[in-house]
Amino acid sequence: MIFSTGPSFISLKVVIFLLELVFSLTVLLTLYVVYLRGAQTIYERKRKNEIAKWEPLLLDYINGSLKLSEVEREMRHADRDLLGEMLIEYSQDIRGQALERMIELWKQLRFDEYSFKKIKSRYSWYRAYGATLLGIMRDSSATPLLIELLKDKSPLVTFSAARALARIGIKKELGHIIGIVAKSKRWSEDQFAEIILDFGQDIAEDLVELCEDDNVPLNRLAFIIDVLGFMRFQPAYEALAKLAEKGEKETRIRAIKALGELSRPESSPLLLGLLGGESWEIRSQAAKALGKIGDDGAIPGLVKALDDRIWWVRYNAAVALTKIGEKGLSALWSVAENAESERARKVAQHVFEQRVSYAESHVI
Amino acid sequence: MKILVYTFNHFILFYFLVLNLTYIFLTLSAFVFIRRYIKLIKIVELRKIFQSTFFKPISVISPAFNEEETIAESVKSLLHLSYPEHEVIVVNDGSTDGTLSTLKERYRLNKAFRDFDSPLKTALVRAVYQSEEYPNLVVIDKENGGKADALNAGINISRYPLVCCVDADSLLDSEALMRVSRPFLEDSSTVAAGGVVRVANECVVRAGKVMEPRLPKNKWATFQIVEYLRAFLAGRISWAVFGGLLIVSGAFGLFKRQTVIECGGYRTNTVGEDMELIVRIHKIQRKKKRKYKIAFIPDPICWTEVPEDRRTLARQRARWQRGLMDSLLMNKEMLFNPRFGIIGLIVMPFFFVFEMFGPLIEFGGYIILTISAILHLINIDFVLLFFLVAVVLGTMHSISSMLLEEFSFYRFPGFRNLFKLIFYSILENFGYRQIMSWWRMRGILQYISGDRSWGKMARKGFTTKKT
């Protein structure tokens, strides 16, 4: 035994072996950490030098002060990895002619070949990375390969490929693919969201069709509804109104919110009806949406909602009244001064006070 | 007596093996997760979401009690966080120093009428202030009720769907909110997310940001850096991957407001309110059979001041032990209960045995060792070898955490810092760990005797670079 002199199931030799093993592992790990630190330090230093060297040249080229051939000649002997990173970093935030010039340089320096090589890699992350690069550089010659990648078994690769295609501009043709993806769980919610936002208005009609498809998972549907509202896609009105009236609570809440974004006066009767609903979240969103629509006819309903038992409903109703112009403000002021209900008075006063301090801070 | 000694020795060996194998497993899992995460964020950037209206706005709640020295910098850093929409709620929890007056002067606070719902009971709120300069800064002045009570008051007044609870002495990295909100965007069933906390002692702070991370000269603080790396990078990340994270640091955590309210908010009758809330969230979500997730992100950075003197550190560790015991014992119905899945069957038992009873077992081992020596039952070769194995394993765990740090977001650059950390990783096995166990043991004794106090911490304030 470890501590005693009695019989033991573990011999001294085993313990010594364990000690040697663990010690060796520790030494190896330590050396590896030191190596990584060294490598990182060298990389950082090199990166700093390369950026200092190439950045002025790159900026002059993007601005048009230097020709492609001049820049290409200078950069031919640069560290490829670092230069590639620099070009990608700069390309993320530029548009128009500047981006076109960057793409030309990228191709001239044969970085496109690098990307093509990556998307054929057997490692999924490299395929995804390659697709991302092709997207950033808007390389339309990669379109057939990227469409092929949409069938890849790795969700990250399909995500990168879809994103790249969206950046290149191949959107309308892929609306049906978004539909397929919407029904599967291959992408996480944030990935799905980014793709939908990337594709934007071009797939709005496909999104409306998805609203009517029972096979779309609820969390995806919720986001699709949000996006239609965000885009203020008017043809989605009927589908959204249907979703707002009945169904799963979260879906209804999103649909009500989207109706608010669409701001159609014909939604008012529906939303006023929802102000008396059972769920406080629905009442709250209905109040908000009525504020966005700005219809005078909603004022009595909103005033009534100032006495709701849930604070959020009262608060959103009060804020909504401030958005319905003079009549709404006047109604709210009347409540703040004269209402019998203390909670209605309080929330009205709070919202007025908020408006005043907002106005003051903006004047400042 | 011999039988007792033999039995206990076998138990110690088994305990030692299970503990270290678990740590090795957790470290390896953390390695896989961190690598995957780093690659993922390179590809999935979420630019569009944060440029749109689809992010979730956040209420950042910062309770403050006698934080005169650091409150100004802390609030500044919170106001300048890079996030599309957030509000900052500072809760002055009955401070007896100049915390409130510092805030009033610095941020031009005016009393505001603010009607709000109070689903969580708190001590009396005396006044609510709004900043003239920063409309998204609200300060609550309330009677002292403790940190948990202050957080609950902040949650009551918050108006956004996500609440981020931070300590008043924490400094958040400017992109911390963007990063810690990712799990909520990735999966709408996420109810809480935590991030890595780093030691801010002697780091250079400017405009509420850590500009230059530095290793402190103080040895206690340096030891804690090694500890924090191990705990956060190897420990919490892995537990979260398996759905078994039991704590999101009180210094920095993001929650769904509605979930916290449903769970009844932070408990005010414990010093481990941060851990207790997470354990309770697990309990309630599992009872209601809801799909939920508690995430942990390796990269968002929160910097905090750690104790630099023995007394304060001792008090802190004893308090943490009491908090741990509270959190586990208040929710003990989950222990070995299959209804609670991995939490009940693996995580809670692990924490009970290795974290809660750990100091008892360790000191029990020292006592048995002494008895063995007195009874001439000791095999000195084995004792020395065992001790060496323990030291080397302990060092290996710390070096592994440093390796994780190198792969991820290494914050203490340069070889000098690295070698210093390696040195302290070895050194901590010769006294620091043992004294930690003793302080935790004191925590157990205090818990048994009914001590529920917080204790004081002397604050230095951050090092501010002169421009």
Contact B46 A40 (CB under 8 A): no
Distance from CA of B97 to the nearest CA of A (A): 28
CA B66-B69-B71 angle, 5° bins: 75
Q: What is the reported pLDDT for B125? A: 94
Contact A3 B395 (CB under 8 A): no
| Structure tokens given for B424 | 């302290």
Q: Which of A190, A261, A284 to substitute to test the interface with B, most B CBs within 10 Å?
A: A190
Contact B117 A311 (CB under 8 A): yes
Q: CB contact, 8 Å: A47 with chain B?
A: no
pLDDT band at A173 (very low <50, low <70, confident <90, very high): low
- B388 contact residues in A (CB cutoff 8 A): 19
Contact A125 B39 (CB under 8 A): yes
Kind and range of the H or E element at B197?
A: strand B190-199
Q: Is B99 exposed, middle or buried (0-12, 13-18, 19+ CB in 10 A)?
A: buried
Contact B48 A198 (CB under 8 A): yes
Q: What is the reported pLDDT for A1? A: 43
Distance from CA of A245 to the nearest CA of B (A): 23
Closest-CA residue in chain B for A23?
B392
CB pairs under 8 A between A and B: 177
Contact B422 A129 (CB under 8 A): no
Does position A177 have pLDDT exceeding 80, yes or no? Answer: no
Interval A120-147 mean pLDDT: 90
Q: pLDDT tens across B433-463, in order?
A: 999 999 999 999 999 998 766 655 544 444 4
Instruction: Give the one of B116, B382, B418 whose C-beta lies nearest to A37's C-beta.
Output: B418
Q: pLDDT tens across A337-360, in order?
A: 989 999 999 999 989 887 776 665
Q: pLDDT tens across B20-54, in order?
A: 999 999 999 999 998 888 888 888 877 777 777 77
Higher pLDDT, A257 or A80: A257
Q: CB contact, 8 Å: A17 with chain B?
A: no
Distance from CA of A67 to the nearest CA of B (A): 31
Interval A56-73 mean pLDDT: 88
Contact B382 A22 (CB under 8 A): no
Percent of chain B with pLDDT over 70: 95
Q: What is the reported pLDDT for B74? A: 84
- A217 contact residues in B (CB cutoff 8 A): none
Interval A265-289 mean pLDDT: 93
Q: pLDDT tens across B371-416, in order?
A: 888 888 778 888 888 889 899 999 999 999 988 888 776 667 788 9
Is residue B242 within 8 Å of residue B232, measured between CB atoms?
no
| Structure tokens given for A307 | 């006495």
Does position A255 have pLDDT exceeding 90, yes or no? Answer: yes
Instruction: Give the one of B133, B379, B389 whose C-beta lies nearest to A4's C-beta.
Output: B379
Percent of chain A with pLDDT over 70: 92
- B429 closest CA partner among B380, B388, B401, B383: B388
Closest-CA residue in chain A for B159?
A312
Contact A26 B413 (CB under 8 A): no
Pairing status of strand B252-256 against strand B190-199: antiparallel
Distance from CA of B402 to the nearest CA of A (A): 7
Q: What is the reported pLDDT for A172? A: 60
Is residue A206 within 8 Å of residue B34, measured between CB atoms?
no
> What's the gap between Cα A286 and its chain centre?
25
Closest-CA residue in chain B for A346?
B115
Contacting A residues, span 205-244, partner chain B, CB-CB under 8 Å: 219, 222-223, 226-227, 230
- Report the distance separating Cα B180 and Cα B257, nearest Å: 15
Distance from CA of B54 to the nearest CA of A (A): 8
Is residue B200 within 8 Å of residue B303, measured between CB atoms?
yes
Distance from CA of A3 to the nearest CA of B (A): 5
Q: What is the reported pLDDT for A236? A: 94
Which ipTM score applies to this complex?
A: 0.84
| Structure tokens given for A146 | 């990227």
Instruction: Give the one of A5, A129, A159 whose C-beta lies nearest to B377's C-beta.
Output: A5
Closest-CA residue in chain B for A349?
B113
Distance from CA of B399 to the nearest CA of A (A): 6
- Report the distance separating Cα B328 and Cα B49, nearest Å: 38
pTM to 2 decimal places: 0.87
Is residue B152 within 8 Å of residue B136, measured between CB atoms?
no
Which residue pairs from A50-58 have beta carbons closer than 8 angstroms and sit at least 24 positions apart in sequence? A50/A78, A50/A79, A50/A82, A50/A83, A50/A86, A51/A82, A51/A86, A53/A78, A54/A78, A54/A83, A54/A86, A55/A86, A58/A86, A58/A87, A58/A90
pLDDT tens per residue across all 467 residues of chain B: 777 778 888 888 889 999 999 999 999 999 999 888 888 888 887 777 777 777 889 999 999 999 898 888 889 889 989 998 999 999 999 999 999 999 999 999 998 877 777 899 999 999 999 998 898 999 999 999 999 999 999 999 998 999 999 987 788 888 889 889 989 988 889 999 998 888 888 888 776 677 778 889 999 999 999 998 888 888 899 999 999 999 998 889 999 999 999 999 999 999 899 999 999 999 999 999 999 999 998 876 788 889 999 999 999 999 999 999 999 999 999 999 999 999 999 999 999 999 999 999 998 888 888 888 888 877 888 888 888 989 999 999 999 998 888 877 666 778 899 999 999 999 999 999 999 999 999 999 999 998 766 655 544 444 443 33
Closest-CA residue in chain A for B46?
A194
Q: What is the reported pLDDT for A364? A: 40
Percent of chain A with pLDDT over 90: 40
Contact B369 A3 (CB under 8 A): yes
Is residue A33 within 8 Å of residue B425, measured between CB atoms?
no
Q: What is the reported pLDDT for B132? A: 87
Does position A303 have pLDDT exceeding 50, yes or no? Answer: yes
- Report the distance separating Cα B163 and Cα B192, nearest Å: 9
Q: What is the reported pLDDT for B465? A: 38
Q: Which of A33, A134, A313, A360 to substitute to test the interface with B, most B CBs within 10 Å?
A: A33
Instruction: Give the one of A22, A193, A347 whose C-beta lies nearest to B396's C-beta.
Output: A22
- Report the distance separating Cα B258 and Cα A124, nearest Å: 38
Distance from CA of A229 to the nearest CA of B (A): 10
Q: For residue B301, what is the DSSP state? A: E
Distance from CA of B329 to the nearest CA of A (A): 33
Contact B112 A311 (CB under 8 A): no
* Ordered DSSP codes for B32-57: HHHHHHHHHHHH---HHHHHTT-S--
Q: pLDDT tens across A30-46, in order?
A: 999 999 999 988 988 99
Residue B422 phi, psi (nearest 5): -65, -45
- A277 closest CA partner among A245, A307, A251, A315: A245
> What's the gap between Cα B154 and its chain centre?
19
- B5 contact residues in A (CB cutoff 8 A): 3-4
